[in-house]
Amino acid sequence: MSDSIILGIESSCDDTSAAVLKGNKILSNIAANQEIHNEYGGVVPELASRAHQQNIIPVVAKAVKEANIHKKDISAIGFTRGPGLLGSLLVGTSFAKSLAMSLEVPLIEVNHLQAHILAHFIDDANPEPPNFPFLCLTVSGGHTMIVLVKDYFDMEIIGKTIDDAAGEAFDKIGKIFGLDYPAGPIIDQLAKNGVENSFKFNKPRIENFNYSFSGIKTSVLYFIQKEVRKNPAFIKENLNDLCASVQQTLVEILMDKLEKAALELNINEIAIAGGVSANSGLREAMQKNAERLGWNIYIPKFEYTTDNAAMIAMVAKLKYDRGEFADLSISASARYDI
């Protein structure tokens, strides 16, 4: 295993992030979140790419400084090629290419979704990394899928959402409740003071290991509209219980299919990844299943769940060891399968 020093750069959505990885150990992991989107209730692509443009140099400079390395020590530059918002990806891609050229080090392209999953192999992500093959429920603002991970770069999507992503469901339902974007972490916080099952929402009936989240969003909307007509203060008076009930339903939907997949594929190495894997309800449900079903569970350290460059550097390191370098003519790719 090489003691390479990799600089990772992530700019696929609304977080500009840079990290330095030495071997498998993170020396720095810096992110600038873009608050500008809060007032719009979602990420505005044009504003996101502009903010990346402003943030990228200070963020990279801070990551290098905090890692206490010199630019000359960098072995390679890893960057998110996709999937994501094209205007956002272009900023990180162009910057990574220029930096690789000027430092005369290899450039390594990284798939953002693989990175969420392979974040589990960062030194301090878990007490132990998962063993192949494992199942990884990958849940973020843009994606919801169950991935069969046979090897580092041999992954198969065995189920995915047919409409909204789980994070999108948290965010859109939060918006109905009048919460800021992104509402996922706010719902998580408020749910702690609420009672689950206070309100019942129907779960979707979807084939195989696939998911659907648009139905629950609509049923919450109709329910809220009906209740608010009777009592304009309904949301305010019941916010914690609403959050607890919605979170519980979303977590149950996610876990039901994961359990089904684990059973049918006879795998008990089970991981979660992506922004929604920060959710405390989902984390608790994983713990319960570990006890009930004998799963070996892998829940990444909090800072490696939402978008971060540490996971990008990790994938770049794995590719560095294999000598898989990108050409400097490479371009960003908004769609990019794992």
Is residue 243 within 8 A of residue 190, CB to CB? The reply is yes
Q: Smaller CB distance to Zn ion: residue 176 or 250?
A: 250
Which of 258, 275, 311, 317 is the binder for ligand KG4 (CB under 6 A)?
275
- Tell me how far, at minimum, the Cβ of 79 lies from ligand KG4, in Å: 15
Among Zn ion, ligand KG4, none, what does residue 278 contact (CB within 5–8 Å per kind)? ligand KG4
Residues binding Zn ion (CB under 5 A): 140, 307
Nearer to ligand KG4, 26 or 183 (CB): 183
Helical ranges in the chain per DSSP H = 45-66, 86-103, 112-118, 166-176, 184-191, 214-230, 234-265, 280-293, 310-322
- DSSP structural state of residue 79: E
8 A C-beta contact, residue 32 and residue 100: no
Cα separation, 179 vs 41, whole angstroms:
9
Stretch that binds ligand KG4, among 95-103, 119-127, 183-191, 291-299 (CB under 6 A): 183-191
Angle between helices 86-103 and 45-66 (to 10 degrees): 30
Among Zn ion, ligand KG4, none, what does residue 170 contact (CB within 5–8 Å per kind)? ligand KG4
- Phi-psi sector, 171: left (phi>0), alpha (psi -120 to 50), beta: alpha
139 touches 272 (CB < 8 A)? yes
Structure tokens at 266: 């006879």
Contact status: 248 vs ligand KG4 (CB under 6 A)? no
> DSSP readout, 90-135?
HHHHHHHHHHHHHHT--EEEEEHHHHHHHGGGSTTTSSSPPPSSEE
User: 93 a known binding residue?
Assistant: no
Cis peptide before 83 (omega within 30 of 0): yes
Does residue 88 interact with ligand KG4 by CB under 6 A? no
Burial grade of 180 (CB within 10 A; 0-12, 13-18, 19 or more): middle
Residue 17 and residue 300: Cα distance in Å, rounded? 18
Please state the closest distance from residue 140 (CB atom) to ligand KG4, in A: 3
Using the minimum distance from each CB to ligand KG4, give the nearer residue, 109 or 188: 188
Under rule CB under 6 A, residue 304 binds ligand KG4: no
Nearest approach in angstroms of CB 58 to Zn ion is 22
Give 99 or 169: the residue with its C-beta nearer to ligand KG4: 169
Two tokens at 184? 């996922």
Please report whether residue 87 would count as binding ligand KG4 according to CB under 6 A.
no
Is 144 a known ligand-binding residue?
no
Consult the annotation and say whether 52 binds a ligand: no
Identify the residue among 164, 188, 241, 303 touching ligand KG4 (CB under 6 A): 188
- Using CB under 6 A as the binding rule, whether residue 279 contacts ligand KG4 is answered as yes
- Determine if residue 184 is labeled as part of a ligand binding site: yes
Q: Name the segment binding ligand KG4 (CB under 6 A); options: 204-212, 222-230, 274-282, 293-301.
A: 274-282
Cross-strand bridge partners of residue 21: 6, 26
Residue 170 within binding range of ligand KG4, rule CB under 6 A: yes
Which of 82, 92, 106, 142 touches ligand KG4 by CB under 6 A? Answer: 142
Among ligand KG4, Zn ion, none, the one that 306 touches (CB under a kind-dependent 5 to 8 A) is ligand KG4
Question: Where along the sequence are the contacts to ligand KG4 (CB under 6 A)?
Answer: 13, 140-142, 167, 170-171, 182-185, 188, 274-276, 278-279, 306-307
Q: Which residues are annotated as a binding site for Fe cation?
A: 112, 116, 307
